[in-house]
Chain A
Amino acid sequence: MYNYILRRLLIVIPVMIGVSAVVFFLIRSIPGDPALILLGEHSNPEALAKVRAQLGLDKPIIIQFFYFLFNMARGDFGRSFITNEVVIKEISIHFPATLELTLFSMLIGSVVGLFLGVTASTHRNSIIDYITTTISVAGISMPVFWLGLIVIILFSIRLPIFPISGRLDPTISFKGPTGLIVLDSIIRGNFKVFKDAFYHLVLPSFCLGTIPLASIARMTRSSMLEILNQDFIRTAKAKGLPNRKVIYVHALRNALIPVVTVIGLQFGALLGGAVLTETIFAWPGIGRLSVEAINARDYPVIQGCIIFFAFIFVFINLIVDILYAFIDPRIRYE
C-alpha cells in the first residue's frame, strides 16, 4: 500500500512541473511587455529596463522558467501588477470562498445525484427512470452561467428570498478561523451570521451543484443496475431483509466505487464551473479573481490562479486514486 501511495505521489511531481510549464509559456506568449503594462506607456526607457531586470525579463526564457519554478517551490508567484499584493496572499484570501462554494455544491450534487441514481435504478424503465435520465442529460447540457441568471431572476428578484450576490450582507463583518463562513459561524455559535451566509450560499451552490449531479446520477444508476443483478442481492432479498436495507446498504455500498471516481473527476468540472458561477454571483473566490485578472491583464495573478486550480485538481485526483486503492485492493497490485 505504501509503495502504491509513494509511486502515485512521484507521478504527481512531473505533472505539476508540466502544468507550470504550460501556464508559464502560455502567459509569456501573450503579446506585450509586462514592464510596459506595469509602468504605463509613457515611462522612460531606464525605468523600463530596471523593471525588466527586476522581473528577470532580461534573461533568456528558459532561465526565466527555472527562476519561476524555483520561486514557485517557495510559494512565491510574484506580485500583482494591479494591487502590488503578493499573489499567493491574494489566492489565500480568495480560496476559502471557492472552497466553501465547491464543497457545498459537491454535497448537493452528490446527495441529490445518488438519490436520483438509486431511484432510477430501482424503477428501471419506468416513468421515474425516464424523468431522472432527462434531468441528468439536461444537467450536463445546462449552461451554469445561464442557470445562475435564471435563478437570480426567480428567487432574488421575483420572489426576493435569497440575496443576489456576495457571501455575506455588507453590513455584517465577521472573521473566523477557517474562512469558511458557514463553518466558522457554527464554531463561534453566531446564528445570525450562519443564517445569512447560508442564504448567500444556496443559489450559487445549487447552480454549481447541477454539474456533478448529472454525472453522479448517471454513474450511480448504471453501477446500481449492475450490482442489483448479482447473486448476493438475491440472497439478501431471499433472507427477507427489508427492500430499503437491501438497496441502500447491500447494493449501494458496492455500487459506490465507480461513483467515488466520478465524484473525484467532477471536482475538475466543478472548479471550472466555479469561474462562471463566481462571476455571476459576485462570489469573492479564485474564479472571479482570475477573470478579473484576465480583464486587467494582471499576468502574475492569472498565472498563479490557473496553476493553483490545476494543482488542486491534481491533488484531488491523487486522493481519489489513493482512496480507490483502499476500497479496491486489486488496484494496488496492478
Chain B
Amino acid sequence: MRRLFRNRAALFGFFMILFFVILGIFAPIFAPYDPYDQTLSDRLQPPSLKHLLGTDDLGRDILSRIIYGARISLAIGLISVALALGAGVSTGLLAAYYGGIVDTILMRLFDIMLAFPTILLAIAIMAALGPDLKNAMIAVGIVNIPTFARIARASALVIKEQEYVMAANALGQSSLKIIFRHILPNIVGPLTVQATLSYGSSILSAAGLGFLGMGAQPPTPEWGAMLSQARSFIMSAPWTVTFPGIAILLSVLGFNILGDGLRDFLDPRLR
C-alpha cells in the first residue's frame, strides 16, 4: 500500500476522486443553493460573488447543481461498474472453468456485444428501455460486461493450470469453491484496474446519453443533461456549458489517472 502511495500520479488521481466523493456526500453542506430552486429574476447570470459559476436559464445556481451532480455521476459509475463486474466476472469465470460449450456460447455472445461501438449499443439498449437515469446505468453496465468477462476468463485460464488449483481439484473441492476461493482472489489485480478505468468511462458514457436526452431527465442535475439544456444558450451564456463539462472531465480524469497508476503498480514492466 505504501508503495502505491509513492506513485504520485495514482495518488493525484485518488485525491481527485476523493474530492468528488466528499463533494457528493456532503452536497447539502457545500451547495450554496437548492439545485432545483428556480429564481427566474436571476436567469442566465454570469459568474459573480452571489453565484460563483453563474446561473442557468431557469435561474438555478450552477455550482449547486454541479455539486449535487457529483452524487449522480458517482452513483452512475458505481452501479454500472458493479453490474458489469458482477455479471462479467461470474460469466468469465464460468466460461474459463467449465470450458467447452459453455465457454464457446458465452464468448461468442460477448464477441457480438463487442462488435458494437460501445455508446451505440448503449443507445440501442436505451431505445428499448426508455430514457431514464436508472436505465442509463443499466445500459452502460451491460455494455461493459464483455470487457470484465474477457479479463476474468483470460486470467482464470492461466491460473486454472497452476498446480495449487489442480491440487484443490484432486482433493475433491467443489467447482464453486475452487472458483471463488482459489481463482477469484488471484485475478483481483487486473479486475481492479479495469474497474477503475471503467468507472471513468461509465461516467463519460452516461453523460453522453444524458446529453443526447436519453439518460437523466430534467430537472435532474446530471452533468450531461445540464450540458444538453445549456446548449441553446451557448451564444448568450457560455458559462452554462463550460462548468458542467469541466466537472465531467475532472472526475473521469481522476479515475483514468488512478487506473493507470494502479496498472503501473501491478505490472511494473509496462512503465
List chain A positions with a Cβ less than 8 A from chain B: 14-16, 18-19, 21-23, 26-27, 29-31, 137-138, 140-143, 145-147, 149-150, 152-153, 157, 222, 268-273, 275-276, 279-280, 290-291, 294-295, 302, 306, 309-310, 313-314, 317
Contacts and interface: CB of A to CB of B under 8 A. Distances in A.
Interface in B181-218: 200, 204, 207-208, 211-214
Contact of A309 (B117, B224, B227, B248): B117
A146 B248 contact: yes
A26 B124 contact: yes
Interface in B232-249: 234-235, 238, 241-242, 244-245, 248-249
B212 A279 contact: yes
A295 B213 contact: yes
A147 B95 CA distance: 40
Nearest to B197: A140
4 residue pairs, one from A and one from B, having the closest CB atoms: A146-B245, A18-B112, A272-B117, A272-B119
Contacts of B128: 26-27, 29-30
Nearest to B207: A143
B118 A150 contact: no
B3 to A, nearest CB: 19
A145 B208 contact: yes
A276 B238 CA distance: 19
A146 B116 contact: no
Residue among A15, A137, A143, A276 with max Cβ neighbours from chain B (10 Å): A143
A294 B200 CA distance: 26
Contact of A149 (B116, B117, B124, B231): B231
Contacts of A149: 227, 231, 234, 241, 245
A279 B208 CA distance: 11
A306 B116 contact: yes
B111 interface: yes
A138 B249 contact: yes
A26 B120 CA distance: 12
A268 B122 CA distance: 13
B129 to A, nearest CB: 9
B178 interface: no
B117 A313 contact: yes
A271 B117 contact: yes
Given A141-B200, A268-B118, 20 more contacts: A15-B115, A18-B108, A22-B113, A26-B127, A27-B127, A27-B128, A30-B127, A137-B260, A138-B249, A141-B256, A146-B241, A146-B244, A149-B227, A149-B245, A153-B241, A222-B270, A268-B116, A269-B118, A280-B231, A294-B126
